[in-house]
Amino acid sequence: MHGLMMNTPLLISSLIKYAAQYHRDTQVVTRTLEGPIRFTDFEKINERAKKLACGLLEFGIKSGDRIATLAWNTDRHLELYYGISGIGAICHTLNLRLSDEELIYIINHAEDKLLFYDHTLKIRVEKISPHLKSVQKFVSISKTDQLENKDSDFFNYENLLSEKITKFDWPIFNENQAASLCYTSGTTGSPKGVLYSHRTTVIHALASCLNNVLALRVDDVVLPVVPMFHVNAWGIPYSVPISGAKLVMPGDKLDGENLFELMDIEGVTIALGVPTVWLSLLDYMDKKGRKPKALERVIIGGAAVSESMIDRFEIEYGVNVHHAWGMTEMSPIGVLNSLKPKFSKLSRANKMPTKLKQGRGIYGVELLVVDDDGKELPRDGVSSGHLLVRGPWIIDKYYKEKKSALTKDGWFDTGDIATIDHDGYMNITDRSKDIIKSGGEWISSVGLENVVVGHDAVLQAAVIGVSHPKWQERPLLICVPKGSFRPSLEEMNNYLSDKVPKMWLPDAIEWVEKLPIGATGKIVKAELRKIYKNYKL
Ligand code: AMP
């Protein structure tokens, strides 16, 4: 027997409609690419997104059409998120850090009809445009005071907005319709598209607001450093409007000084991003001798956060750090670390091993760790294996692929290696392809890196396995120094000796000026493995 309750579809438009009604005058603040700070609010975002929606319909865009964006975090990009998905078209965010060849492949694969871009990227767009098979028009969303001819291939956003919205209301359609598309970075093989639906996006947004997750409040001021061109900025453009928090968009200025100023002036209470962006903010905070005045929490994910980074934020500045983990295929949030009340009795040193873990599964995401044969491993915090996930905002199939991406039991294999403890705290020990297999034991490259970056002389570190005649693989440590001091291998191993198991101690250390950073802000270990392929230990 079915329940007898209303079956109203969960549509993305309902999020901005709600915000426009109940958080009408809540500000959305943008550091524009043109320079000045621009202020708008949720009511105006909703109005302009509707104008865009009408303009797209007048242009001939239909439900299911893919529309690409190549843009930074701004209010305009937010209007695109809602205006495109709101009429059943698909907002395809392009990662502007990808190479021209990757962008061309992805746009042609998605068969995007329009491409919206920030004017600073125009040269790139012009360069790749002859290779794009499906794109009919290129629309600039910034520097829109320079009106261009609507009949040319390149015109600007304000030309497209339609004034005929008096009778327009967001259309209602099936919640399982696709809403947005994001390609994975594709470290192996071609990039693959993850196609989110309205339903998955709305449920993910609701879950993100929960107290044990982002705990977004109406009096929060949220700054996503995490880009809208990578996994929908962790869903912030969808969760913030329902929470009613103020939204602050940093545009393309993501260095410590610019972030600090914006956070300070706008009273940012919570900021989200990958570890690398926080290094530059922390350095600037050190220079100023204070934190941005209202900052309470930073959410760090995308790569493992180190103990030294947590200490700098928490001990020196009183800013709470929450570690989080997820992936493109998971919309992306999977776990977030908040300590259970019982931990409050423990000393900082005793809390730290748990705080460093990626976090506990959030409601909606089931987690499982299995061995090489697919057998479930105990939740003892020690047994590490392949991390599988299942839930309503997790991928089933990649875009345009016939085969399901799941195991025969309906789980998605994340490609991460992890442990789960009896409280449910999950700890990523490695990507399965990065783990170092040494004499039948596994060495966690992430675990080792986290400790190494605690050394005063080290700014960034990466550990890779290099082949060894006896042990199969041994760890090579590659570091970027903070200053001129570069400790020897012996000095480094002395420092590490009481912090990691003896067999983890690296066999060699290399000092480099910089590490290769990929399009999603993570160290590209595949690149390092290529460089050090024939490394002799
Ligand atoms: P992406 O799909 O590009 O967001 O990458 C997802 C992958 O990033 C995950 O499968 C992990 O390997 C890695 N990742 C994300 N968050 C964390 C974290 N907090 N700690 C370690 N690795 C992470």
pLDDT digits (tens, 9 = 90+) for 430-446: 888 898 988 878 898 98
List ligand 1's pocket residues with C-beta within 6 A: 184-185, 231, 301-304, 323-325, 327-328, 332, 358, 414-416, 428, 431, 520
Q: Is 437 a catalytic residue?
A: yes
Average pLDDT score over residue span 282-286: 96
Q: Given the CA of residue 332, which atom of ligand 1 is nearest to it? A: 4
Residues 21, 156, 222, 16, Cα dihedral to 10°: 20
Q: Is the pLDDT of residue 183 over 60?
A: yes
pLDDT of residue 188: 58
pLDDT of residue 520: 80
* Three-state DSSP state, 81: helix
Q: Which of 140, 205, 208 is nearest to 179 (CA)?
A: 205
The DSSP H or E segment spanning 361 is strand 359-361
The closest residue, in CA terms, to atom 9 on ligand 1 is: 327
Whole-Å CA distances, 180 to 81, 198, 343, 395: 8, 8, 39, 13
* Three-state DSSP state, 297: strand
Pairwise CA distance, residues 267 & 225, whole Å: 15
Active-site residue identified among 102, 175, 329, 449: 329
Exposure b/e, 163-194, CB count within 10 A at least 16 = b: eebeeeebeeeebebbbbbbbbbebeeebbbb
172, amino acid identity:
I
Instruction: Please indicate whether residue 250 or residue 434 has the higher confidence score (pLDDT).
Output: 250
Q: Is 442 a catalytic residue?
A: yes
Q: Report yes or no: 279 and 252 within 8 Å, Cβ to Cβ.
A: no
- Residues 105-146 have pLDDT tens digits of 999 999 999 999 999 999 999 999 999 999 999 999 988 766
pLDDT of residue 393: 98
Q: What does the H/E/C string look like for 20-80?
A: HHHCCCCEEEEECCCCCEEEEEHHHHHHHHHHHHHHHHHHCCCCCCEEEEECCECHHHHHH
DSSP 181-241: EEE---SSSS--EEEEEHHHHHHHHHHHHSTTTT---TT-EEEE-S-TTSHHHHTHHHHHH
